[in-house]
Amino acid sequence: MRLPFPSPARDAATDSGGAPLEGLPEWNLDDLYEGQDAAALKRDLDWLEEACRTFAADYEGKLAELDAAGLLECTLRYEKIDMIAGRIMSFAGLRYYQKTTDGERAKFMSDMQDKITTYTTPLVFFSLEFNRIEDAHYEAMMAENDELARYKPVFDRMRAMKPYQLSDELEKFLHDTSVVGASAWNKLFDEQIAGLTFEVDGEHLGIEATLNLLTDSDRARREAGARALAEKFEETAPLFARIHNTLAKEKEIGDRWRGLPSPQASRHLANHVEPEVVEALRNAVVAAYPRLSHRYYNLKAKWLGLDTLEVWDRNAPLPMEENRIVGWEEARRTVSEAYAAFDPRMEELARPFFTDGWIDAGVKEGKAPGAFAHPTVTDVHPYVMLNYLGKPRDVMTLAHELGHGVHQRLAAGQGEMLSSTPLTLAETASVFGEMLTFRKMLAEAKDDATRKVMLAGKVEDMINTVVRQIAFYDFECKLHEARRGGELTVDDINALWMSVQGESLGPVFNFMEGYETFWAYIPHFVHSPFYVYAYAFGDGLVNALYAVYAEGSEGFEEKYFDMLRAGGSKHHKELLAPFGLDASDPAFWDKGLSMIESFIDELEAMEK
């Protein structure tokens, strides 16, 4: 079953927090359930319990005997169970993310998770037995029934895990204990992060508001924010180190029992991407550090009149940047017009997010940090979460998450089991939506100074998306490898974090005492190990894709919509082939990185 929870938020370092704006939209979750006591929710829970029981009774020990028609009926029943379970957990998860400090919401989500885990335990046999079907019989059934063959991409991904699956009894045990394993530690992390308060100049702020200070135009305020973060992270690092140690060890045990060749292997299998493709991406980005981040931050130091940048200068606004608030209606209009200019269908797909309660935009006490778009289930619609405070980057985040939402709506036509896009391609529409919005805003820049600020902002976002995320990926690789050798102290983890910071950001940076603990708040490391390379993958892919679009490729829009509609039904090679692109070609990644370089070239030219 696919995971029915909100997807991880974007790097919170690039998101904003601070003084809330008024009148921002909130979610209306009634399309899922009208409340935790809704009759429809009780009905679905009762149905799910019985559906799982009868499914197991009808099929356990019998999958190998089914013909193509029988396997199709079995698959459709499984898909319906997946949808109902996903609807319940989407509702519980979204309510919880609105206010993670609310004990009643946290209890409700835990109770739902416990019930879903208990009800679905009898289904664990399905993938295990399915993978024991003889290859010849499997291929014959796929050839015999076109409707069944539609699910072949899901089945093939499932069968890719065949060499790594455990006994039926062990798999059921792991399924049963999952609620007190990784998911429990994830919940602890979320609650601790949301509950942190930071004292800055006598004021007590939440994590979003404190992170927002790192983008303040006042350097003293930036420093105060950075030091407040460092002080609190140092204080809480032992707890976060315990979370990381436990999760990394749990993963190592699971990987070892399954015989997976590396800590990253399960992520690559889930993403349906070859390890060598990810390695080519990683190597291309690391090799480009001097041409990208090192070069850009040298420029930024010059603009700020500094010989050395401190960590609180990384996301500082430029001196010539206007410190204005972009109102919600302006942000909506900007993104909607950018989408419509590409294709009116994109704006139509995005419109209900604004009008029908599909966005929760405001910064609120206890609300999860960052932003995400959660697809829920294919017979409802996605929901977008933001922490919107009117920064220009917040407009980009809106464009990004709406891109996810459009993608998820289009992919819903594939049905519950085929709609979920592998993470490597899940960022395609979001980053493309950002690029459309950025190009519109750049074309409308009133003068060269405005254009310079916009270009610099885009470069910083791309560095955060590509350079920073690959540095995160390297940190995770080092962390999991080191944990295999034993328990890691806070100092051990700090050293691993710092080992990638100087390399990725460049020699112009000075790293204050305390920055070594900033690994503590990054949610991806806890929620989805090795997720982060998907951001770099998506950015590089979209840069190459946008270059094809800019060249005026005939029929690009229709090919693009076909790619989004495919959801998880095709491999990245199939999806990119109509555009003449191939992610397994190392030159592909250089093509994507060259767009960032071209923006830096333009910024350097403005200095002459």
What is the average pLDDT across 181-185? 90
pLDDT at 17 over 70: no
CA distance 426 to 49: 31
pLDDT at 1 over 60: no
HEC string of 148-164 equals HHCCHHHHHHHHHCHHH
| Amino acid of residue 321 | E
* pLDDT for res 4: 39
Instruction: Write down the mean pLDDT value for the chain.
Output: 92
Q: For the chain, what is the radius of gyration of the CA atoms?
A: 24
| Amino acid of residue 327 | G
What is the average pLDDT across 123-149? 94
* pLDDT for res 424: 73
Question: Which two tokens mark 184?
Answer: 């429990």
CA distance 322 to 452: 12
Q: At what angle do helices 182-195 and 103-120 cross, to 10 degrees?
A: 170
In angstroms, the Cα distances linking 275 to 469, 572, 580 are 17, 13, 22
17-26, 142-151, 509-518, 537-546: least confidently modelled range: 17-26
CA distance 277 to 27: 38
pLDDT at 20 over 80: no
pLDDT band for position 586 (cuts 50, 70, 90): confident
Is 52 in contact with 122 (CB distance < 8 Å)?
yes
Is 485 in contact with 284 (CB distance < 8 Å)?
no
- Reference 573, options 562, 561, 585, 565; nearest CA is 585
pLDDT at 114 over 80: yes
* pLDDT for res 175: 84
Tens of pLDDT, residue by residue over 563-582, are 999 999 998 889 999 999 98
Q: What share of the chain is helix, strand, coil (3-state, %, to 5)?
A: 70, 5, 30
CA distance 127 to 168: 10
pLDDT at 493 over 90: yes
Tens of pLDDT, residue by residue over 512-524, are 999 999 999 999 9
SS3 391: coil
pLDDT band for position 8 (cuts 50, 70, 90): very low
What is the average pLDDT across 71-82? 97
Report the Cα 606 to chain-centroid distance in Å. Answer: 35
CA distance 68 to 62: 13
Fold (CATH) for 32-180:
Butyryl-CoA Dehydrogenase, subunit A; domain 3 (1.20.140)
- Find all residues with CB under 8 Å of 38, minimum gap 6, and list them: none
Burial of 12 (0-12, 13-18, 19+ CB in 10 A): buried
DSSP assigned state of 317: P
The answer to whether the predicted template modeling score (pTM) of the entire model surpasses 0.85 is no
Order of strands across the sheet with 359-360? 359-360, 383-385, 372-374
* pLDDT for res 2: 37
Tens of pLDDT, residue by residue over 282-319, are 999 999 999 999 999 999 999 999 999 999 999 998 88
* pLDDT for res 391: 84
pLDDT at 19 over 70: no
Question: Which two tokens mark 563?
Answer: 């790619």
Burial of 119 (0-12, 13-18, 19+ CB in 10 A): buried
- End-to-end distance of the chain based on CA atoms, in angstroms? 57
Percent pLDDT > 70 in the chain is: 97
Helices (H), 196-274: 207-212, 219-258, 265-271
Q: Which residue has the higher pLDDT, 554 or 344?
A: 344
φ/ψ of residue 386, rounded to 5: -130, 165
CA distance 266 to 529: 10
270 CB-side CA count, 13 A: 17
* pLDDT for res 320: 79
pLDDT band for position 21 (cuts 50, 70, 90): confident
* pLDDT for res 58: 97
Tens of pLDDT, residue by residue over 455-487, are 998 999 899 989 999 999 999 999 999 999 999
CA distance 531 to 251: 14
SS3 600: helix
Tens of pLDDT, residue by residue over 400-435, are 999 999 999 999 999 999 999 877 788 899 989 999
Question: Angle at the Cα of 11 (from 539 to 316), degrees rounded to 5?
Answer: 95
Largest Cα–Cα distance of the chain, in whole Å? 75
pLDDT at 535 over 90: no
SS3 259: coil
Tens of pLDDT, residue by residue over 196-242, are 999 999 999 999 889 989 989 999 999 999 999 999 999 999 999 99
- Find all residues with CB under 8 Å of 474, minimum gap 6, and list them: 282, 286, 500
Q: Which residue has the higher pLDDT, 407 or 16?
A: 407
Length of the chain: 608
* pLDDT for res 565: 97
Question: Which two tokens mark 249?
Answer: 């060890």
User: DSSP readout, 68-112?
Assistant: HHHHHHHHHHHHHHHHHHHHHHHHHHHHHHH-TT-HHHHHHHHHH
Is 596 in contact with 464 (CB distance < 8 Å)?
no
* pLDDT for res 218: 94
Question: Which two tokens mark 545?
Answer: 């894709």
Residue in the block written with tokens 């495919």: 566
